Structure 1
């Protein structure tokens, strides 16, 4: 199954709801009766946990962050800065949002509609001021004065209850300075791994899945590279310590078998985390190649094993990335959306994406800007979402090859074609004696004309120039109807011609189509 997910910036949406209902809580997030969330399998609520007071104070005075916040909100007020939702003080639902009861009420509404709830898990660090630093300082990466003097941006001094001064590390990845509102957890300590697994088990009782922030940072090779030569940790990290994810996921799924793990992951570590047990991993590479206009790279990426691809979470924006409307431009965004969301895997959408919002909202903010809707883009996404039904959910996916429309027609390589076909009952069971139906892109022998609703063809020109090609479509003896789900335009093509030559396409820059394909005799006028 290829599900869909909708990410909500929880505190920002709740702030907006409270303009008309001052008492609104998480239980009121779908005050429209669920219309905005209809059709999505998953709803991800960003930043529901208690955030650190000390971290919030950092957010409100750090000059570089303040400039970013003012770029988003020119009328920025101090109360608009709630602190990062990833600088967590405690994995308890914030009382400012209504607490655990309000979250449970919202989840119950989702369950009644057959939808699932996803929440955050931040494995790498805790928020500044977390009580563990006083109670269990060994849960964190500790340093010495030499490290703090050499890298004051990565360490801070604190005093333990017994009066002892220690230096602790801020959370970070190996390529950037530390996040000053966080404290780095020490995954070489088995006791810390046990505590984080217990937290996961507690979270799993309140939702159906977690999005794990920067999940690769706690993998042994990354963690060791980042921390092995620092301060008091030098002796600890010289040995090999056990990986966290495989055991933690195993224990959670032993209690909650259907619980879902989605990893934010980069650096070509997607496969590794899938093998550790993650159900979905971010597909940042596809996003980057689309953003860079690398059609050949996109095509090569989509030739990967389908078992791997089906576990990719595909997106055009999220809370970390710039808004798609600001990055791509309207027509390019439409093309990139078809290229992204008509592939296998989890289709990951972000609040404000459909409306064409252009300003990214930092996870530190609890208020967002007022932006006008892009009516054309909203209509496009409505049509796109309506097309993400069968056979794109459980059918078979084929990346089609393209052929030049004539000699020296180099533009053919700019066009991508995806074919989705319903799985016949005998193919789903795959008995040894069953004769599989021929796919309409299999040129070895003519295929049977598909029935209405059994076949979907997505085509997109990922370039800024006119492009032409032929796509293999092997239907003989029957005309085909191609009904465009994006424009409601209907075409009829001769099956014999397509069987011999393929489907001819002549596409404008960034033009895209999602065709329902069926035999002419299936058409209802």
Structure 2
């Protein structure tokens, strides 16, 4: 699905220099949106599975992942992903694709023709079950991309249950933007009507099928904010009766998600801010503004998925290099070390430098996996150092003041006896800067150079353009 959110209101506010603070009490987590100073109270959704506390996510576009474009080809690569440091394998939609009103030669995988079977181009249901079984044997988890807001135009519900669909002047419609009430340009799909309790039951039954019959571990839910929050309140207990699942919302600004269903959401705001810094549009100080805001507006148990690339970003907005220029590696380091759960999009470990076609076959040119050691270093640190764990299992990022905060972003995270300190030059100019403040002192090893350094207030660090240092005890 084409990315629906060009930039969140939060990131726009920070990029233009404004940021309202939220408040917290000892009794209750609170959240305040920039558009409204009303404090929002929320409870806790069912907890994430224990295995998610230091997990990382890897997105697989099955169609483009291999020349074959099959489940079997993905299964063959699972040992490599395990070695890379992946924990959760997120598969883009695996369902049959609607032919009516399809886009391009092959259509969008987000135009679902049947929620309870697989795209025959990818293989059989047994092939998919074998993929999940192999993943579990390796200690990996599998989540499926789920599209609850709409179906393709030739889904069987169109004829068998037309009452499942939204009507405008008596006719089915493309999805409606919940903020404006106007149709989107998603012409290959038709909007579902969640006022119908029978639709809700059918959707929960379909989701339960994959957990019960295929033993998947959760879902990434497409445009989760287009679906009423009270539906998600029904979904989570139904799925957890089968097994405890991990739920990721493709959304950011819906506080109800924290208490209804989801364990994680998209860090759209941080993504927008990082891209602005990489392109020289904003100083590095906006990074910390977003981190501080997110620490206040999200409950401590919630995860944000930090990303630079995904299927939408890559296909529609640009490659890693197009979006983050020469600073791409520095921003990968940042996204893997700040608060949240990092995402690796398939191909990044081979320095993917092309936009993958969305509606036709366009295989990833894998090459030599030239960035494997880089990602492995970051993901290994994520697993071993509690400071980088997710949510309340990890430590919060604390900014270190420097003499060049417009160019340099430095911070540390602590948890129990673990600590990570990160210093990044987020500019295209060399810089020599001093680290100020306190709290990060000690002798640490830099993970990429394997050299030991004593960290202390007043120390001077010289960094090349876009250079990064990651120190750990």
Question: TM class, shorter-chain normalised?
Answer: 0.7 to 0.9
Q: Deviations over 1:26-84 (max 9, x none)?
A: 134232561234321101111211111224xx323xxxxxxxxxxxxxxxxxxxx3211
Q: How far did residue 378 of structure 1 move?
A: 4.8
Q: 1:138 aligns with which of 156, 163, 167?
A: 163
Q: 2:143 aligns with which of 96, 118, 138?
A: 118
Q: Deviations over 1:271-322 (max 9, x none)?
A: 3312222011011110000000142222022121474484111111100113
Matched with 2:4 is: none
Matched with 2:465 is: 509
- Partners in 2 of 1:369 and 1:28 — Cα distance? 13
Q: 1:170 aligns with which of 157, 168, 174?
A: 174
| Structure 2 unaligned residues grouped into runs of 5+ | 1-52
Q: Deviations over 1:139-162 (max 9, x none)?
A: 101233xxxxxxxxxxxxxxxxxx
- Between 1 and 2, higher relative CO (CA 8 Å, sep ≥ 6) is seen in 2
Quick check: 1:460–1:513 contact (8 Å CA) kept in 2?
Answer: yes
- Partners in 1 of 2:304 and 2:77 — Cα distance? 31
SS at match of 2:312: coil
Q: 1:369 to 1:6 in 2, by over 3 A?
A: closer
Quick check: 1:11–1:97 contact (8 Å CA) kept in 2?
Answer: yes
2:427 aligned with 1:463? yes
Matched with 1:300 is: 289
- Partners in 2 of 1:31 and 1:401 — Cα distance? 42
- Partners in 2 of 1:363 and 1:248 — Cα distance? 29
SS at match of 1:321: helix
| TM-score where L is the length of structure 2 | 0.77
- Partners in 1 of 2:300 and 2:109 — Cα distance? 30
Q: How does 1:376-395 map to 2 (within 5 A)?
A: 377-391=371-385, 392-393=388-389
Alpha carbon RMSD of aligned pairs, Å? 2.6
- Partners in 2 of 1:37 and 1:459 — Cα distance? 28
Q: How does 1:52-451 map to 2 (within 5 A)?
A: 52-55=98-101, 58-60=102-104, 81-91=105-115, 92-144=117-169, 167-173=171-177, 174=180, 177-205=184-212, 206=214, 207-219=216-228, 243-256=230-243, 258-266=244-252, 268-269=253-254, 271-293=255-277, 294=282, 295-303=284-292, 304-305=295-296, 307-308=299-300, 310-322=302-314, 323-330=319-326, 332-368=327-363, 370=365, 375=370, 377-391=371-385, 392-393=388-389, 396-404=394-402, 409=403, 411-423=404-416
- Partners in 2 of 1:371 and 1:115 — Cα distance? 22
Matched with 2:80 is: 35
Matched with 1:48 is: 94
SS at match of 2:79: coil
Q: 1:505 to 1:319 in 2, by over 3 A?
A: same
Q: 1:367 to 1:249 in 2, by over 3 A?
A: same
Q: How far did residue 502 of structure 1 move?
A: 4.2
Q: How far did residue 509 of structure 1 move?
A: 2.7
Q: Number of paired residues?
A: 397
| TM-score where L is the length of structure 1 | 0.70
Matched with 1:2 is: 54
- Partners in 2 of 1:179 and 1:482 — Cα distance? 51
SS at match of 2:289: helix
Q: Deviations over 1:445-498 (max 9, x none)?
A: xxxxxxxxx43222212233344231445588xxx433221233x1443x7xx2
- Partners in 2 of 1:474 and 1:179 — Cα distance? 50
Matched with 1:427 is: none
Quick check: 1:400–1:472 contact (8 Å CA) kept in 2?
Answer: no
